[in-house]
Amino acid sequence: MTSPMPQQPQNTSQPSHTTEPTDVPQQAHAPHDPQAPAATPAPYEETRIERAVGRLFGRATGRALAPYQTAVIRIGFSATWLLFLLREWPHRLTLYGPDSPWSLDMARRLLDANHAFSMLLWSDGRGWFECVYLMAVASSAALLLGWRTRTMSVLFMLGVISLQNRSVFIGDGGDNVIHLMSMYLVLTRCGQVWSLDARRAKRARTAAEASAAEVSAAGGEASEQAQTAVRTPGAGRGRDLTGIVLWAVLGLALAVAQLTGSYALLWFDNGPFPHIGWSLVLWGLWVAHGLWWAVQRYAPGEPRTVLDTLTKLAHNGALLVIMVEVCLVYSTAGWYKIQGSRWQDGTAVYYPMHLDYFSPWPALSQLLGSNGLMVMLITYGTVIVQVAFPFTLFNRRLKNVLLVIMICEHLSIAFLLGLPFFSLAMIAADAVFLPTNFLTWLSTRVSGLRERLFPRTLAAGPDGGPGGGEPPARTEHGGGGHTLVG
Amino acid sequence: MRPRRYGSPAELTAWIYGNGAGMQSYGDEPRPLAALSLPSRIVIGVAACAVAVIVAIHLAMMFLHVAPQNTLSKQQGALISDYVYPEYEQNWKLFAPNPLQQNVAVQVRAEVRAEDGNGRTTGWTDLTARDGRAILHNPLPSHTEQNQLRRGWELFLNSHNAQGRPIGTRGELAERYIRRIVMFRMQGEWTAGGGRVERIQVRSRTAAVSPPPWSTEKISDKPVYRVQPWWQVTTADLPEGANSQ
């Protein structure tokens, strides 16, 4: 009941839920709407398809869906990569640096052929390598905390693909998931909640609302003006010096890399999409960030709404890609398993546990592998869950049960097969399907725990939550933030 | 768990466009899209169509890349791999169709020329067993122990034909990769008493995982050795900084 956002695909099974947002585009185009420019005298009956398209359009442009789920995958993937980088800190030179058996020359020869991106090819020096590695660590930490999320997601992606493409042959499935998701996260607004960005925005808003309340208390007539001041994005936000510095420094760095003719910085070739090079992508993102700031500050009316809608579209598109990607992982994993004789005779799970590379706890593996019935049940269960998962998305309860099973299975893989980072990455991917109710509940519990562990003064109380993002369910329940203040 | 119903139109609008007190860190104005000017609405409409098309193409490509070979992916193979490689490459055959049922160990030995000109051949060293010892009782195995040699050897096998000849650049690189992994790990040990490594030899020892205790399957427990020819070691195979020797 705390889920006003139709972010889960399983919501499609709840007609009462999905029909609600549809009213908006219809309403918006309704002939009696005075603002509709093409007002026709006779009421126009929309066909079902038109209504469906309108509904879809309204959903895709209405808001950045699934704020909690995108936040949780942001945290999940950045934490996995951060922990991995820290764990490999003693081995970093062997894995990705000058001491790697996969030498930089060999990497160059391979990447010259397949055109993968890596900043590590820009210079041979150890100093540059350390810079990139540290940048990867720092950007993961910042993305985890949600500090300058949009910028950090770009740096996070650059760190991930630079390191991984430098030494492709030491990665595994977990690295592969992080590689893909780091690129998709760039296009999502993954810092809407549980982030320092959200906390900063909320503080700015509270400050603006407080001043507005003061004004409205002074004179009734001024109150309307004050309310618009609250809505004006520049109000209470300042000119954002940190953002400007960050933007300028990164632009300068990119310009230097571009002008020195660094590897892979091409405009129309060898990029992430056909005929879109990495230069175009990176400069495009840089310009977009600058434009967003300028529009926020100087053109808060229509231009801002347009840009905002475009980013929502990108967010929702990327979110859909992420969700389908997770389904693809499971369905193809299941699809191939079904073809295997060991998965059919119910012994498949026994074998990985007895491989030297995947048995950190041989005694435990032996013990689990000694029960034939158990091995068969787990083997069949794995196939069933993987094949079924995409279809259970249409049933909320079933999906949640499967999520729990899959997360448990990944936890045991983490321990039994000695694949902690792979499992963490997969759990993070699963998390995009966690129900909002659960996530807001978790948020409340974590805030409560934090309040108990580190009691705060009353003044800092209201925005003292972790990352400051108040679940919308709670704020809306209170009748909206401004009524509390007003 | 009933979805909340929206009482007033204002509430609904606030929900759709953000009410300023919600979670949108960038703030939203209660400005319905229909109230925008025509150019703005055209921009948004075109963008929505573009996003829909891009998402559809991207997902179709991802699907065709991860799905088994089929009519369409055979026809459009070049187009799909152009799109997918290098950044969207992925493989989700996790322990599938069948999990690996063999332990493959990589073992190495060397011919060391001492300073007085005498040559000697070392005994075999099992590098995989060393990886295994590093992984044993380790909750956080490093990629250097779990993946480097394992995947390096996979690459080597995949890029060599049945006669052991390298296939293309990849095969050549893979061979050098194995030589370098061996030298990085063993050089110090082999040349501890002086001298220098002239040639190395690599072999793989493949042993089937014995079938489960309840199974009646009979599988030969005799390991199979695959011995590579002796490889000359060049300075390019040595860790940087070791060239001065």
Provide the 8-state DSSP code for B162: T
B214: chain A residues, CB-CB within 8 Å: 372
Asked if the model's pLDDT at residue A176 lies above 90, the reply is: yes
Amino acid making up residue A466: P
Between these two residues, A129 and A37, which has the higher pLDDT value? Answer: A129
CB B32 within 8 A of CB A28: yes
Distance CA(A26)–CA(A6), nearest Å, equals: 18
pLDDT tops 50 at residue B23: no
Does B98 touch chain A if contact means CB atoms closer than 8 Å?
A: yes
pLDDT at A481: 27
| Across A424-443, average pLDDT | 96
Rounded-to-integer distance, Cα B225 and Cα B219, Å: 16
Per-residue model confidence (pLDDT) at position B162:
85
Average pLDDT over residues B148-172: 92
CB pair distance less than 8 Å for A343 and B184: no
Half-sphere exposure of A69 (CA within 13 A, CB side): 25
Full-model pTM:
0.85
Three-point CA angle A431, A434, A436, nearest 5°: 130
pLDDT at A83 over 50: yes
Q: Answer whether B26 sits within 8 Å of A201, measured CB to CB.
A: yes
What sign results for the dihedral spanned by CA atoms B232, B237, B239, B244? positive
Which pLDDT does position A434 carry in this prediction?
96
Q: How many other CB atoms sit within 10 Å of the CB of residue A50?
A: 14
Residue A227: C-alpha distances to residues A300, B21, B26 (Å): 15, 12, 17
Q: Which two tokens stand for residue A169?
A: 């042959």
Q: How confident is the model at residue B240 (pLDDT cuts 50, 70, 90)?
A: low
Say which of A274, A360, A469 has its CB closest to residue B141: A360
Structure confidence at residue A356 (pLDDT): 93
Scan for tokens 């329940």, then name that residue. Answer: A477
Min Cα–Cα distance to chain B from A355, Å: 6
Q: Rounded to whole angstroms, how far apart are CA atoms A93 and A170?
A: 13
The pLDDT value recorded for residue A213 is 84
Checking if the pLDDT of A417 tops 90, the result is yes
Which helix or strand (DSSP H or E) is residue A200 part of?
helix A196-218
**The pLDDT value given to residue A283:** 97
Residue B221 pLDDT:
85
Residue with the two structure tokens 């004179």: A219
Which long-range contacts link B207-213 to residues 24+ away (Cβ below 8 Å)?
A: B207/B102, B207/B103, B207/B105, B208/B101, B208/B102, B209/A351, B209/A354, B209/A355, B209/B101, B209/B102, B209/B103, B210/A354, B211/A347, B212/A347, B212/A350, B212/A369, B212/A370, B212/A372, B212/A375, B213/A369, B213/A370, B213/A372
User: Which tokens belong to A412?
Assistant: 């045991």
Residue A170: pLDDT band (50, 70, 90) is very high
Average pLDDT over residues B87-115: 93
Q: In the prediction, which pLDDT does A5 show?
A: 40
Q: Does pLDDT of A27 surpass 70?
A: no
Task: Find the residue in B nearest to A328 (Cα).
Answer: B63
> What is the per-residue pLDDT for A216?
73
Stretch A241-263: mean pLDDT, rounded?
Answer: 94
Contact A306 B95 (CB under 8 A): no
Average pLDDT over residues A34-49: 63
Q: What ipTM describes this predicted complex?
A: 0.86
B207 interaction partners in chain A (CB closer than 8 Å): none
Place of tokens 């990139």: A132
φ, ψ at A47 (rounded to 5°) = -80, 170
Q: Does residue B84 sit at the A interface (CB-CB below 8 Å)?
A: no
pLDDT at position A467 over 50: no
Distance (Å) of CA B168 to CA A400, A421, B160, B162: 48, 33, 9, 14
The answer, for B231 touching chain A at a CB cutoff of 8 Å, is no
**pLDDT given at position A214:** 82
- If you average pLDDT over every residue of chain A, what do you get? 84
Residue B122, pLDDT above cutoff 70: yes
- Tell whether the model's pLDDT for residue B1 goes beyond 80: no
**Which residue in this structure is represented by tokens 């109230």?**
B35
CA A20, CA A78: separation in Å to the nearest integer? 35
Tokens, residue A358:
């995947």
Distance CA B133, CA B146 (A): 11
Mean pLDDT value of segment B106-120: 92
Per-residue pLDDT at A41: 57
Closest CA to B26 of A68, A127, A201, A328: A201
Q: Does B19 touch chain A (CB under 8 A)?
A: yes
What's the rounded Cα separation, in Å, for the pair A25 and A317?
19
CB contact under 8 A, A306 and B36: yes
Residue B53 pLDDT > 70, yes or no? yes
Closest alpha carbon to A394 in A7, A2, A11: A11
- Residue B155's pLDDT is 95
User: Which residues, listed in sequence order, are joined to residue B231 by a DSSP beta bridge?
Assistant: B200
Residue, of A369 and A41, whose pLDDT is higher: A369
The Cα–Cα gap between A76 and A181 comes to: 11
CB contact under 8 A, B87 and A173: no
B147 chain-A contacts, CB cut-off 8 A: 169-172
Tokens 């187009």: give the residue: B79
A348 contacts B180? CB cut-off 8 A: no
pLDDT computed for residue A457 by the predictor: 54
Residues 6 or more apart whose CB falls under 8 angstroms from that of A254 comprise: A282, A283, A286
Q: Look at B96 and A110 and tell me if their CB atoms are within 8 Å.
A: no
A96 has a pLDDT exceeding 50: yes
Using a CB-CB cut-off of 8 Å, the residues of chain B touching A195 are 25
Closest alpha carbon to A260 in A135, A128, A102: A128
Contact check, Cβ <8 Å, B18/A33: no
Residue of B nearest to A203 (CA): B25
Whether B77 has its CB under 8 Å from any CB of chain A: the answer is: no
Between CA A21 and CA A32 the distance in angstroms is: 19
How far apart are alpha carbons A102 and A98 in whole angstroms? 9
Report yes or no: B230 at the A interface, CB cutoff 8 Å. no
pLDDT confidence band for A191 (50 / 70 / 90): very high
Instruction: Name every chain A residue with its beta carbon within 8 A of the beta carbon of B67.
Output: 332, 335
Confidence of residue B104 (pLDDT cuts 50, 70, 90): very high
pLDDT given at position B116: 87
* CB-closest option in B40, B94, B142 to A91: B142
What tokens does A338 get?
């079904």
Is A70 within 8 Å of A319 (Cβ atoms)? yes
Q: Among residues of chain A, what percentage have pLDDT more than 90?
A: 68
Q: Please report how the helices A149-166 and A173-185 are oriented relative to each other, as an axis angle in degrees rounded to 10.
A: 150
Check residue A131 and give its pLDDT: 96
Instruction: Report the length, in residues, of chain B.
Output: 245
- The region of weakest confidence among B31-40, B60-69, B209-218 is B31-40
- Residue B86 to chain A, least CA–CA distance (Å): 5
Q: Which residue of B has its CA nearest to A340?
A: B97
| 3-state secondary structure string across B60-91 | HHHHHHHCCCCHHHHHCHHHHHHHHCCCCCCC
Please give the average per-residue pLDDT across A110-115, as a whole number: 92
Owner of token pair 């949600």: A146
Q: What DSSP assignment string belongs to A141-193?
A: HHHHHTTTHHHHHHHHHHHHHHHHHHTGGG--HHHHHHHHHHHHHTTS-TTSS
**pLDDT tens figures, A211-237:** 888 877 776 555 555 455 444 444 445
Whether residue A210 has pLDDT greater than 50: yes
Nearest-CA distance from B9 to chain A in Å?
A: 9
| Pairs across A and B, CB distance < 8 A | 323
Task: Write down the domain spans for chain B.
Answer: 9-84, 102-237
A303: preceding bond cis by omega (within 30 degrees)? no
Q: Please tell me the predicted confidence (pLDDT) of residue A47.
A: 87
Average pLDDT over residues A352-356: 93
Exposed, middle or buried: residue A48 (CB in 10 Å: 0-12, 13-18, 19+)? exposed
Going from the C-alpha of A430 to that of each of A55, A401, A437, B180, the distances in angstroms are 27, 12, 16, 38
Give me the mean pLDDT over the B118-130 stretch: 95
So what's the pLDDT on residue A220?
Answer: 54
Give the closest-approach CA distance of B114 to chain A in angstroms: 25
Segment B25-51 shows an average pLDDT of 78
Closest CA–CA distance from residue B84 to any residue of chain A (Å): 9
Q: Using an 8 Å Cβ cutoff, are A463 and A199 in contact? A: yes
Q: Two tokens at B135?
A: 């992984």
User: Please, which residues have CB within 8 angstroms of residue A169's CB and are 6 or more apart in sequence?
Assistant: A102, B147, B151, B152, B155, B177
Distance, in Å, from the CA atom of B172 to the CA atom of B166, rounded to the nearest integer, reads 6
Alpha helices by DSSP H, listed for A417-458, are 420-430, 436-453
Mutate to test the interface with B, among A306, A366, A440 (most CBs of B within 10 A): A306
Distance, C-alpha B237 to centroid of its chain:
22
Q: What is residue A66's predicted lDDT score, i.e. its pLDDT?
A: 94
Cβ contacts of residue B221 below 8 Å, gap of 6+? B207, B208, B210
User: Domain extents for chain A?
Assistant: 65-194, 322-433
In this prediction, residue B35 has a pLDDT band, given cuts at 50, 70 and 90, of confident
What is the arithmetic mean of pLDDT over A304-327?
96
Determine the number of helices (DSSP H) and then strands (DSSP E) in chain A.
21, 0
Instruction: State residue B34's pLDDT score.
Output: 76
Place of tokens 């000697």: B120
| B86 close to A271: Cβ distance less than 8 angstroms | no
More confident residue, B17 or B83: B83
Q: Which residue in the block uniquely carries the two structure tokens 């435990």? A: A364
Region of residue A411 (phi > 0: left; psi between -120 and 50: alpha; otherwise: beta): alpha
Cα–Cα dist B155/B146, whole Å: 15
